[in-house]
Structure 1
Amino acid sequence: MSTNGLLRVMVVDDEHLIRQGIKHYFNWEEKGFTIAGEASNGQEALNMIEDIDPHIIVTDIVMPIMDGEELTKRVKRDYPAIQMIVLSSYGEFDYVRATFQLGVVDYILKPKLEPKTLLDVLTVAAERVQPSVMDEGQTHAARTQALLEKILLGFATDADFESGLFQEAFPYEAFLLMRESRKEQSTTSPMDQLVNGLDTSRTIHMSLQLKDGDTLHLLQANDREALQRSVVAELPTRTVVCSRVMTNPMELAQAASQLEACMKQVHFYFPQKRVVVAGELDLTQGHEEFDVDAYMLKLREQRYQEAAEGLITHVQAMMQTPQLGPNEFRTFLTHMIFTTAIILHAQPAAGETIEKEKYTYMTAINEAETAERATEALTVFLQKVTPGVRTKDTHDTNMKLLQDYIAEHYMEPLSLKELASHFHFHPSYLSSYFSAHNKEGFSEYLTSIRIEESKKLLKHSGMPIAEISHEVGYSDHSYYCKVFKKDTGVSPSQYRRDYLLKGQEK
């Protein structure tokens, strides 16, 4: 189990609060350790050792099922390289003496357990970890990777920046940091092409895989302008956010944090953008705060069209100059749905479907992956619950995309859920959206497409009817015949005979 050079520590104590307290005593990674696991008794700890492979175990003495003394015996017998630290109370001296005979590093009295005391004992234990155990995470490459992680995640100390390892790993004076989206990484990533094309005698590339799947890439060189110019030119098909070129490596952690926020903004507000350089998006340009009171007054006065258009216009402005994070944007939209529902609830003509609809659209907004999808959900909600509202939007284009997809896939076992997944809609929202912007709902529309296509095959091919039913997306021949007759008034075979007779009469 690799932890980039950090020593893995397991905490064993039957008191949950003690375990939680130890975990939050200090920044473990900054001190060179990581909490790899925790257990509530000795037996549970033994069961976890193979998977966690700890370097150090911090254990209580008195625990149910298996106590700390027995755990220490088993560990020292089966895993002699693991270092043991014992926690005890004043009245447990005999137990403590027995564990010392087994070779524990030290013991700490629980009433005196403090961060500095624990860290001092951990440091002693770290010095005893055998080199053979350390080799896994402490090779030169692993130590360099661990240093990179500390720098980019903000854990590096002055000592790290002054170390010989830093001087060796970061020899150039210009740094450029990029964050590559996990959503588009592949074996043929343009980032790979860029890295493979670098002049390694003048440029160094390092990368760090993040927990969310994104990748941070760090490029070093001496030519500042050429460094950024080449990156932007080489990455036209990848969602990558780039920092400005830096000369102070201590700025890298802040730049990494800014790129994380920028990537979220780009995915949500500008999903079509590919390369974004820090500062290119003006996220500070403000827009007027929405006048909720004026909006509510218009609803009360039944000026629905004016109220809806004003709200959608404001939301579209928010999308173009985003100042809110994705979650804050979604929260604003769901708040406006809730506000609208409260006002219209007292107006039966307008609000009779509100209670049924509002949670569907609030859910759709909260699950929307882009601002455009969230705004569409708000727009459809307003159209459904307020009489006569016709907001200005892109529904015609969106409906055409949906209809084109159905036309290409009607012969497959297509479902509303599959269609929703493909276009990143919530299924309930898509069902309402489809009905609101098409003469037929999804199921009726899919059926009409399949029946029309089957009519063409009945008239212009000699295919058996059972084969035709499969050709247009029906796995059950009998069900196809039933649906066909319901739609046309005759069976498929009768429809074909009628068509042939008409041709002979001509």
Structure 2
Amino acid sequence: MYNILIVDDEVLVRTHLKLLLQNLSNEFTVCGEATNGLSALEKIPRIQPDIIFSDMRMPVMDGLELCRQVKNQYPDIQIIALSNYDDYTYVRGALKNGALDYVLKHKLNEEYLLSLLTELKKNLNVQSGLKSFPNRTVSALREKFVNDLLGEVFLSEKDIETNIRFLGINLDLTHLIPIILSVDDYARIEQQNNLNQKNILNFSICNIGNEILSKYPTGILAHIEKEIYCILLSFASEVSQAKIEGTINSLLQQISSNYKKYLNISVSFCVGETTGHIIDISHSYTRALETIRLTFYSDRQSILRTKSVPIPPSDLAGLDYSLEKSLLSLAQKGDYEKAEEIIQKLFQNMADQKENRSSVQMKCTDLLSIITRISKKNKLDLNKIIADKISPDQIFIQFHTMAQFSEWFLDCFLNMCREIKLQLPGDSSYVKSAIAYVNRDYSKPISLQSIADEIGISIGYLSTIFKNETGHGFTDYLNSLRISTAVHLMELGERDFHKIAEECGFQDYAYFFKVFKKRMGTTPKTYLRRFE
């Protein structure tokens, strides 16, 4: 086993090279990383690398000086210079001072590295004896330890302590805080990337996160599942709550900004409650895991805290029947103003109740059903209705927050109501306005006179142009709309004829029956039997 030390002040270069090396061969393991030559020199006695990959341009101590120092102090270590096109002077100096070769950063690939390392093995004189586990194996074992710990696999404190010591994890046994890290928009990222790309992203998240944690007294980051990661911190020697909060805030800010800078992803966090002893960490972790789901009600890059956020109920429920019925009726008439009010209230109620994502999805599916049914009934082009051209099957993948869902559905209903209004009869603005008033207020005691007053024209003129443009007298059109609404309510399951008559604007129950039979050729009771 040959140990490799990577020295570069750019975390993205280190991560990329480390990933290439770990996928290359079991003979080579990355035993450490450093951000400059001085840091590398301090680590060499402890990690005992056989090979050093070093950048040339670095702060504090550059690669050229590192080569000089290593040549004098550790002549058996092989050095490979990492360079850019404009680093020729540095590279030439490095080669004069013991570097065996150089690699252009933009040409780093597995094939070239394997060829290079194969040649390096011929020059290495590694003393025999037991080597440490490969870094890849150690990382996997540490991740397994965290997952087992959170899953309550360990039966005793002694088992936990033994694993922490054996795996070299910087973590105390008391005063621990779990922090959930969740990748924002993970469903979209998962859809756009293949398995290998997702593995690379997971590796990079863990590598960058644990490198940042290495600068803190304690801490470890591990992947749990899909978009979920867990950070464990311990504050056994810190009594000041203000300092603990300051440390956590600083850490989360560093992690968030580095992921945005190097991986172009945003993440959200939930800080769990402090656990007295590590063996009890699972409960605090579970609470934090439940809470992180509530980023759905906030936004990207949120920081939640378990204690301040109530956990939503797990009950599942679709749209309330009366609400669904109202939306169907309003959309059918193109009444967006009232539909908008209902939809906004619906999403606000879900936000106030902090309903879980599954329940929200059920209600959204019911709203999609309304859009589909109204569009099919009115022969509308769905392409003109779907907001932002994001198809319905993609909204649960593309959208991350409640606000995005609300905005999308409001736009869809607006587009649908506009398309329906275009189908309304009438040529003049007067008739179109009259029909809009009828569609809006049909359940009220309206008349041709009241509508003429609203529009601002005489009742005689409105009566004439209304019949000329629609082919129907006003009363005939109003009754036709009311009976159509009554039939629609029956199809939705309404069985109370008094309630149907009232909702459709008939003040006289007997008159409702008379008009219904004239329009439909049968009584409401007989018509209703077809649905039984």
TM exceeding 0.5: no
User: Which TM-score applies when normalising by structure 2?
Assistant: 0.38
Q: TM-score, normalised by structure 1?
A: 0.40
Q: Which has the higher contact order (CA 8 A, sep 6+)?
A: 2
Larger radius of gyration: 2
